[in-house]
Amino acid sequence: MSDDSAELCGIEGDDDEFVTIAQVNRFARIVNVYHGRPIKDDLRGLRISMDEHIKQDEAIHNQIKGARWAIYALAGAVAFCVPLGLKILEALQILMAVK
């Protein structure tokens, strides 16, 4: 806390004196200026960085979805090619045995 805010963040007077509405209002303004506004600015910056992070996460999630469908397509192609390849190997073995 800076020296200015340490001096200002308090209501002057003795503990047994009544506090006026003007003193409370002045104290509330001072607290808002020295403490409330910096917190709001920090939260605003945090929100902006969180929004950017969420956008990056969505982009990565979409890439993963696309990769998942590519893997499914490759698995389908391999599932189609494996029996065909086995049939070709059987045919080659038969041809080799005939010679």
The residue to which tokens 């607290």 are assigned: 31
CB 10 within 8 A of CB 26: no
pLDDT at site 30: 87
Q: What is the pTM of this model?
A: 0.45
pLDDT, average across residues 81-93: 90
pLDDT at site 31: 86
Would you say residue 85 has pLDDT above 60?
yes
The residue to which tokens 């065909």 are assigned: 84
pLDDT in tens, 56-67: 999 999 988 888
Ordered by start, the domain boundaries in the chain are: 3-71
pLDDT in tens, 72-82: 889 988 888 88
Backbone φ, ψ for residue 13 (5° rounding): 130, 170
**Among 54, 2, 49, 60, which residue's Cα sits nearest to residue 30?**
2
Q: Using the 8-state DSSP alphabet, how is residue 9 labeled? A: S
Portion of the chain with pLDDT greater than 90, in percent: 25
